[in-house]
Homo-oligomer: A and B are copies of this chain.
Amino acid sequence: MTTQLNGVNLDQLVGTVNVIKEQPEIAKFQFRTNTRWLNGGHCQTEIQSFYGAGNEDSSRDKPFIVDGDEPPVLLGENHGPNAVEILLHALASCISVGFTYNAAAQGIKVENLGLSLEGDIDLHGFLGLSDNVRPGYENIRLTRKIKADASEEQLKELWEYAQKTSPVLDIIRNPVPVSVELESI
């Protein structure tokens, strides 16, 4: 018998935390993607293997295939969302996991969770038309709708905790070093 809340296996959650407390190395993960440019704004990414919990993961029989493209106004053909759109999804997905997992850990049942995101960007940066305009989002707004079996106070605390521990929110709010290597073809 397993104890589930919000679709999260609580036994496994507690077990994972306890194993990491005893073997800190278990917490080291490496995620990977492989992207091929196809044509114009269109690229395709394969996502399958990763290293974590001391092993190469083998849970995925085949890769996830994700398409990226631009809309026509940005010279693409809408084969997929563009890079800054999918980045907003990454943030929402991260917050969704963190909020519902931590709610489960605290015995809070989540009925509904909706996250709407907006990001403002000035293309002078991307187009190289101004050194005073950053290429990326100037700011991002996240609006959340939550229905859960908890007090306002509990939800506020949970929300603060989910923000503090969110990998993607950290990556967006704070600098991450990115190194670049060239491989001959």
Cβ A32 vs Cβ B185 within 8 A: no
Distance of A25 Cα from B121 Cα, bound (Å):
11
Are A179's CB and B31's CB within 8 A? no
Q: Are B127 and A17 in contact (CB under 8 A)?
A: yes
Contact B35 A120 (CB under 8 A): no
Chain A binding site: helix, strand, loop or mixed by DSSP? mixed
A129 to chain B, nearest CB (A): 6
| A66 CB contact (under 8 Å) in B47, B89, B100, B129 | B89
| Separation of A141 and B12 alpha carbons in the complex (Å) | 31
Q: Are A167's CB and B137's CB within 8 A?
A: yes
**Interchain nearest-CB distance for A146 vs B (Å):** 6
Q: Are B167 and A101 in contact (CB under 8 A)?
A: no
A184–B112 Cα distance when bound, in Å, is 11
Q: Which of A71-87 contact B (CB under 8 A)?
A: 71-76, 78, 80-87
Distance A60 CA – B85 CA, assembled complex (angstroms): 14
A182 within 8 A of B: yes
A150 within 8 A of B: no
Report the bound CA distance from A156 to B11 in whole Å: 52
Q: How far is the CA of A74 from the CA of B139 in the complex (A)?
A: 30
Provided the pairs A35-B114, A37-B114, A89-B47 are in contact, do residues A94 and B100 lie with their beta carbons within 8 angstroms?
no
A37-73 interface with B by 8 A CB criterion: 37, 39-43, 45, 47, 50, 52-53, 57, 59-60, 64, 66, 68, 70-73
8 tightest A-B contacts by CB? A7-B40, A68-B93, A136-B170, A83-B94, A35-B92, A7-B39, A37-B113, A136-B171
